[in-house]
Amino acid sequence: MTQRPAELSLWWNTLPADLLEPLGAPLPGDSTADIAIVGAGYTGLWTAYYLLKADPSMRVAIIEANYAGFGASGRNGGWASALFPVSLEALARVSSREHAIALKREMFATVTEIGRVAAAESWDINWQQGGNLVLARTPLQLASARAEIANLRSWGFGEEDYALLGASEAKKQAAATEVLGATFTPHCAAINPARLVRNLARTVVAMGAKLYEDTAAEAIEPGIVRTSRGSVRAEVIVRATEGYTPSLTGEKRTLAPIYSLMLATEPLSDSIWESIGLRERQTFSDGRHLIIYGQRTSDGRIAFGGRGAPYFFGSKITPAQDRNAQVHAGLWKVLTDLFPVVSDAHVTHTWGGPLGISRDWWASCGFDRGTGLAWAGGYVGDGVGTTNLAGRTLTELITGDLKSPTALTTLPWVNHHSPKWEPEPLRWLGTNIGLRAMSSADDFENRTGRPARRAAFFGRKMGH
C-alpha cells in the first residue's frame, strides 16, 4: 500500500497544500513517446526539465510507481551540495587530472544552477546557501581535516572553495561540544527537498511532460518500458530509479538500497539558536566514519540524520524499514551530544528511506545510442546536487552529436560501468559487515585515540 505523503518525512508533512495537489494519473494503457523516463524523482524530473528546455516539442513520458518525489528526493537531508562520492585521485586514474578537477568544479557550478533555476521558476524551496561545515571533534578528526585541506590545495583548490577553521572560528559557526576545528566550503545550500521535487514536477508537467503515477515499471528493454498497466514505447528510455532499481527485471544486482534515517526537532527558541549558532543555516556534520548530517530548517528546527540502519536481505524495501527505534534513538544521542542545549526539545518527526549505492561506490550517468538506453544514479546519498548535473548531462548525451563532445559529456563519471553486486547472501553479509565496521571504528578511535585500521579498508567500500 502506498504511503500517504504526510508519512514520508518532515518535508512532506509541512508542504503547502498547492504542492500536494495530484500531478499525474496512472498509465491508461499502451502508449508511445519520444523519450520515456522511469522514475519521478530528481534524476528523472531534472532530465525531463532540461530536455523540454532544449526541445519543447519533445514527447516526454515519466513513469512513476508511486507519486512524484516519493523516494529519496522528498526525504533527504536537504543539502544541495557539491559533494561527489568518488575521490579526485580515483577520477584522475580513469581520466586525467584536468578532467577530475573539471568534475569537481562542475559540481560547484551545479549548486549555483539549482539556485538559479529555483529563482527563475519562482520556486520557494527554503533555499539558503550558508555553506557546509564538517566539525573536527577529536585529534584524529582534526588531523584528517588538515590532510584533506592539504590534498585539496595540491589539486589547486584555494581558500575560497575549502577552508580549514581553528577551534574558535569553528565554534562561532556551530557551538558544538569538543570542537577542535572544522573544514568549511561555501558550495552548499540548505533546502526543503520536498519543495524542490514537487515544484520541479509541477513545472515539468506544465512544460508538457506526461506524468504517469501509480504505474510500476517492471522491466526496461530497448525501445520499451513494460509496466503493470501497459507498455510505453520510446526511442530513448532513461532509468532514473536509484534505490528502487532492484525492483526492475534484470537489475537486482545493479544498485544496493542502503537506508539512511532522519529525525527533526520541534522549532527551537531564539535563545537556543543563539547558543547553537548556524546563523546562515550552514549544513553540518563531523569527521566520524559513520556519516551524520544536519541542517537548521527555515522554520527553526534541526533536521538530523545518519547511516547505521541495516541492509535488508534481497534488497528488500518496505515502509516498515523507514523507521527504526534503535537507530533513531542513536541519532538523538549523537545530536544531543553535539548540542546538549536541545536535550529538552521534542522530536516531532522520524523517517527514512533507501539510497542507491553501486558496487564500487561510483555515481554514474550514461547513454548507449545503439540501444537507446540511458541511466543515472548510484549517488551514495549525495544526489541533490548530482541529479541536476545528471539531468543536464543526459540531455546533452541524448540530443547531442557523438562527434561533438561537450564539457559535460566528457566528465569522468559519464558512461562509467560499475560491477554488479554479489548475489545473496554475500551482498547481505558484506554490506552489513561494512556498516558495522564503520561504527566500531568510531568506537575504537574514541576509546584509544588511534586510527582504526578497519576504517581505512572499509572506508573505500562505504563511501567515506
Taking 60 as the threshold, does the pLDDT of residue 458 lie above it?
no
What average pLDDT score do residues 392-410 get? 93
Q: Give tens-digit pLDDT for 321-351.
A: 888 999 999 999 999 999 999 999 999 999 9
Q: How many CA atoms lie within 13 A of 19 on its CB side?
A: 23
Report pLDDT for 310: 77
Look at the block and give the residue holding cell 536535550: 343
- Please check the confidence at residue 265 and state whether its pLDDT lies above 90: yes
Residue 153, Cβ neighbours under 10 Å: how many? 14
Q: Which carries the bigger pLDDT value, residue 433 or residue 141?
A: 141
* Average pLDDT score over residue span 223-227: 98
Residue 400 above 90 pLDDT? yes
- Long-range CB contacts for residues 224-230, cutoff 8 Å, separation at least 24: 225/36, 225/38, 225/63, 227/27, 227/63, 229/26, 229/27, 229/28, 229/29, 230/27, 230/28, 230/29, 230/30, 230/31
The answer, yes or no, to whether residue 180 has pLDDT greater than 90, is yes
State the cell numbers at 260. Answer: 539512511
Highest mean pLDDT among 212-221, 303-312, 415-424: 212-221
CA–CA distances in Å: residue 451 to residues 86, 135, 180: 22, 17, 17
Strand partners, 165: 182
Assign 460 a pLDDT band (cuts: 50, 70, 90): very low
In contact, 28 and 178? CB cutoff 8 Å = no
Strands 181-185 and 163-166: antiparallel
The CATH architecture that domain 131-189+257-359+424-462 belongs to is 2-Layer Sandwich (3.30)
| C-alpha torsion angle, residues 249, 252, 256, 261 (rounded to 10) | 60
Q: Please tell me whether the peptide bond between 423 and the residue prior to it is cis, using omega within 30 degrees of 0.
A: no
Instruction: Label each residue of 304-317 as H, E or C.
Output: EEECCCCCCHHHCC
Residue 1 has pLDDT above 50, yes or no: no
Euclidean distance between CA atoms 392 and 413, whole angstroms? 13
Arithmetic mean of pLDDT over the chain: 93
Which three-class secondary structure state does DSSP give residue 182? strand
Q: How confident is the model at residue 289 (pLDDT cuts 50, 70, 90)?
A: confident
| C-alpha to C-alpha distance for 135 and 174, rounded to whole angstroms | 8
Residues of the chain with pLDDT > 70, as a percent, come to: 93
For the cut 50, the answer to whether the pLDDT of residue 456 exceeds it is no
pLDDT top residue among 423 and 337: 337
Q: What's the pLDDT band for 423 if we cut at 50, 70, 90?
A: confident
Amino acid at 373: L
Q: What is the mean pLDDT of residues 220-239?
A: 98
* pLDDT (mean) for 50-70: 98
pLDDT band per the 50, 70, 90 thresholds, residue 93: very high
The residue length of the chain stands at 464
Q: Is the pLDDT of residue 454 over 60?
A: no
User: Do residues 257 and 307 make contact, with C-beta atoms less than 8 angstroms apart?
Assistant: no
User: Domain 1-130+190-254+360-420 sits in which CATH superfamily?
Assistant: FAD/NAD(P)-binding domain (3.50.50.60)
User: Given this model, what pLDDT does residue 6 score?
Assistant: 87
Q: Which cell is 454 given?
A: 578497519
Band (462; pLDDT cuts 50, 70, 90): very low
Is residue 234 predicted with pLDDT exceeding 90?
A: yes
| Whether pLDDT at 455 is above 60 | no
Question: What would the pLDDT profile of 13-54 be if each residue is shown by its tens digit?
Answer: 999 999 999 999 999 999 999 999 999 999 999 999 999 999
Cis preceding-peptide flag for 425 (omega within 30 of 0): yes
CA proximity to 255, closest of 371, 323, 352, 354:
354
Question: Average of pLDDT values for 406-424?
Answer: 95
CB atoms within 10 A of CB 408: 20
Instruction: Return the CA Rg of the chain.
Output: 21
Burial (CB count within 10 angstroms: exposed 0-12, middle 13-18, buried 19+), residue 403:
exposed
266 and 272 Cβ atoms separated by less than 8 Å? no
Whether the predicted pLDDT of 448 surpasses 60? yes
pLDDT band at 439 (very low <50, low <70, confident <90, very high): low
Q: Is the pLDDT at 173 greater than 80, yes or no?
A: yes
Residue that wins the pLDDT comparison between 277 and 403: 277
Query: What pLDDT score does 160 carry?
Result: 98
Q: Give the mean model confidence (pLDDT) for residues 424-436.
A: 74
pLDDT at residue 70 in the model = 97
Q: Check residue 248 and give left, alpha or beta (phi > 0: left; psi -120 to 50: alpha).
A: beta
C-alpha cell recorded at residue 418: 560499475
pLDDT reported for residue 432: 67
For residue 31, which amino acid is it? S
Residue-range domain boundaries for the chain: 1-130+190-254+360-420, 131-189+257-359+424-462
Return the axis-axis angle of helices 453-462 and 426-448, rounded to nearest 10°.
140
The amino acid present at 357, given as its one-letter code, is I
CB 193 within 8 A of CB 181: no
- Model pLDDT for residues 107-163, shown as the tens digit of each residue: 999 999 999 999 999 999 999 999 999 999 999 999 999 999 999 999 999 999 999
